[in-house]
Amino acid sequence: MNDLRITGVSKAYGPGSTVLDGLDLHVPGGALAAVLGPSGCGKTTLLRVIAGFLRADAGTVTVGGRTLTSPGVHLPPESRRVGIVPQEGALFPHLSVARNVAFGLTGLDRTKRRSRTEEMLELVGLAGYGDRMPHELSGGQQQRIALARALAPAPALVLLDEPFNALDSALRAGVRADVRAALRATGATGVLVTHDQQEALSTADLVAVVRDGRVAQCDTPQEVYRRPADTWVARFVGDAVLLPAAADENTAATALGRLSLAAPAGGRRDGTVLLRPEQLQLTESAGASESAQGTVTDVAYYGHDAMVTVAVDGLGDPVGIRVAGPVSVRPGQRTGIRVTGEATLHP
């Protein structure tokens, strides 16, 4: 299998400028992993180390058991069997679509090159576009061609460097789905670098959240969202409601009432509990049966849902509540709040 293993990789650009700090990451063969993190956390540097554009100061990188980087070993990029899909496609403007796709197909005769090119164009949904020039394509089509070019030599690993940034929101979801389907069809392992949380959660099989040059958490999108490793990850991966809490084994006392915990607290302890905005519900009146009461301070409507901000009685910071459909509350209105599901405790 074409699994990617990164062990203890470090990279600094000079004294006091460490970018990767003993980073570890394992991506199973055939999986698509999203490397997610804020600007400056080391995402692009990691991609360049995997591709062979940068030499790591320490650590190892292997793909399918084949060592690409280790102490004393640094395979050149062209020997790594690693495909790259850069930002905005980066197609050769003077070459046709077919010649762009066939660019890396060295060592094949003309017939096999043409057959492989047509196969890749069909895979990305652009069969018959071979004679066109890059400037005749839309942004989404250019990204599909860039993917076809990366997949044509049958790489073991494909690196995608924020490839959807230049696309408008209407195109982005469709192109992401096409990219994912093409990777699965070829069986290539993929690494997608992004700073877009929703893109990472909706596209990848695994999400690796990078902080200060290390992986803070790597798990399925659902686990990273529902059970983040710490409060920093919780805030970075989606909207979070964080509340001071006094836990007692399976429950925690908070300003929103006593909440059930996803995992036992291990005795009495203070900490912070995490809820997601969709776990909070507004009620029409603040009756005695409600967990908490508060005053609506803001309503942000997005069409498919809305984010209602409520100043909760007895809580210093307001909380965000995600509601579906029409919004019936307005700023200044009193409301009750009910919590559903379980909270996650962070000591």
Q: How far apart are CA 319 and CA 274, in angstroms?
A: 12
- The per-residue pLDDT for range 243-252, each reduced to its tens digit, is 999 998 899 9
3-state secondary structure 24-43: EEEECCCCEEEEECCCCCCH
- The per-residue pLDDT for range 136-160, each reduced to its tens digit, is 988 888 888 888 898 888 899 999 9
Q: How far apart are CA 33 and CA 38, in angstroms?
A: 16
| Residue where the block lists tokens 């997610």 | 36
Among 3.40.50.1000, 2.40.50.140, 2.60.40.10, 3.90.180.10, name the CATH number for the domain at 239-346. Answer: 2.40.50.140
Half-sphere exposure of 94 (CA within 13 A, CB side): 0
Going by C-alpha positions, the residue among 276, 280, 271, 173 that lies closest to residue 225 is 276
| Residue where the block lists tokens 């909270």 | 343
What residue spans define the domains of the chain? 4-232, 239-346
Confidence of residue 340 (pLDDT cuts 50, 70, 90): very high
Q: How far apart are CA 228 and CA 346, in angstroms?
A: 9
pLDDT given at position 290: 56
Q: Is the dihedral of CA 155, 156, 157, 158 positive or negative?
A: positive
* pLDDT > 70 in the chain, percent: 97
Q: The pTM is what?
A: 0.88
DSSP 3-state helix, strand, coil percentages of the chain (rounded to 5)? 25, 35, 35
Residue 111: other Cβ atoms inside 10 A: 8
| Residue where the block lists tokens 């993929």 | 190
- The per-residue pLDDT for range 289-306, each reduced to its tens digit, is 556 899 999 999 988 899
Strand 82-85: give its sheet, edge to edge: 82-85, 157-161, 189-194, 32-36, 206-211, 214-219
**What single DSSP character describes residue 342?**
-
- The per-residue pLDDT for range 185-224, each reduced to its tens digit, is 888 899 999 988 988 999 999 999 999 999 999 999 999 9
Among 3.40.50.300, 3.20.20.60, 1.10.3720.10, 3.40.50.1110, name the CATH number for the domain at 4-232. Answer: 3.40.50.300
